[in-house]
Amino acid sequence: MMSAFSLTDRHALVTGANTGIGQAIAIALARAGAAITCVGRRSCAETVDTITAAGGQAKEVLVDFSDPMAGVDLFKGAEIDILVNNAGIIRRADAVDFTEADWDDVMNVNAKAVFFTSQAFAREVFARGGRGKIVNIASLLSFQGGIRVPSYTTSKHGVAGMTKLLANEWTKSGINVNAIAPGYIATNNTEALRDDPERSSEILGRIPAGRWGRPEDIAETAVFFAAPASDYVSGAVLNVDGGWLAR
């Protein structure tokens, strides 16, 4: 009997799969049975090696989403069923000092690239009459304002809205679109916060789970959104945050 969480015979593409949350997602999807295309602006060799050493299937493709249209040729002939839009960046500065470059760079990777990569994926799935799953990586800053991260907060509110819009348009045609909103996860993205003793203890003090999140906490939720278990879930933005938003 096949588990509703099995990804056997599926092919998943994960962006930003060289490190952090994207790496953990790629490994978890592979463990559930999917073949993985790991996309990064740098080599994803560590992720590919981890998956293949465990008997899974993985390859890498180099793409830099600072050109937000850079992902549009990823899908032709590739028969990808699952797209995880994970690659993202953050820039920190007071709103009064924030630069146009820090606005555009973040919006291009975190929002524009997510839309046009999803569009290219959907066109290919629809052209072959297939079915698909899109898993976007949103943020607590899809719901909250944050501090000193104007373009990041705007982009992640955008990811939440885009998830719902695409779900409205594509679910009936066979593509479910959902997002995970991670809480505070120990990765490169949050290194500056963890290095600041005051911010770090403020944050930790508010997390009901009493610890920072791990990339694996997000990865298993991604397996759910990629798998048949979530076939009737679309347009959801699920916070995986150790209880943070409940406070």
Q: Given candidates 12, 21, 106, 160, which one binds ligand NAP under the rule CB under 6 A?
A: 21
How big is the site for ligand NAP, counted in residues (CB under 6 A)?
27
Set 152, 184, 212, 225: catalytic member:
152
Contact stretch for ligand NAP (CB under 6 A) within 76-84, 123-131, 177-185, 225-233: 177-185
Nearest approach, Cβ of 88 to ligand NAP (angstroms)?
Answer: 2
Nearest approach, Cβ of 220 to ligand NAP (angstroms)?
Answer: 15
88 is a contact residue toward ligand NAP (CB under 6 A)? yes
Tokens describing residue 132 = 């698909």
Evaluate whether 61 touches 38 at the Cβ level (below 8 Å): yes
With H, G, I as helix, E, B as strand and everything else as coil, classify residue 38: strand
Contact stretch for ligand NAP (CB under 6 A) within 4-12, 18-26, 116-124, 161-169: 18-26
* Position 247, amino acid: R
139 is a contact residue toward ligand NAP (CB under 6 A)? yes
Instruction: Kindly tell me which of 34 and 63 has the beta carbon lying closer to ligand NAP.
Output: 63
**Exposure letters 57-85 (e unless 16+ CB within 10 A, then b):** ebebbebebeebebbbebbeeeebbbbbb
190 is a contact residue toward ligand NAP (CB under 6 A)? yes
With H, G, I as helix, E, B as strand and everything else as coil, classify residue 40: strand
Contact stretch for ligand NAP (CB under 6 A) within 5-13, 34-42, 125-133, 222-230: 34-42
DSSP letters along 68-106, please? TTTTTTSSTTT---EEEE---------GGG--HHHHHHH
With H, G, I as helix, E, B as strand and everything else as coil, classify residue 240: strand
The values of phi and psi at residue 219, to 5°, are -60, -40
Q: Is residue 152 flagged as an active site residue?
A: yes
Nearest approach, Cβ of 80 to ligand NAP (angstroms)?
Answer: 17
Evaluate whether 176 touches 234 at the Cβ level (below 8 Å): yes
The values of phi and psi at residue 181, to 5°, are -105, 95
185 is a contact residue toward ligand NAP (CB under 6 A)? yes
Contact stretch for ligand NAP (CB under 6 A) within 85-93, 127-135, 160-168, 203-211: 85-93
The values of phi and psi at residue 41, to 5°, are -80, -15
Nearest approach, Cβ of 184 to ligand NAP (angstroms)?
Answer: 5
In angstroms, the CA 155 to CA 25 distance is 21
Number of H helices, E strands in the chain: 8, 7
20 is a contact residue toward ligand NAP (CB under 6 A)? yes
Q: Given candidates 22, 33, 68, 158, which one binds ligand NAP under the rule CB under 6 A?
A: 22
Write out the residues near ligand NAP by the rule CB under 6 A: 16, 18-22, 40-42, 63-66, 86-89, 109, 137, 139, 182, 184-185, 187-190
Catalytic residues: 152
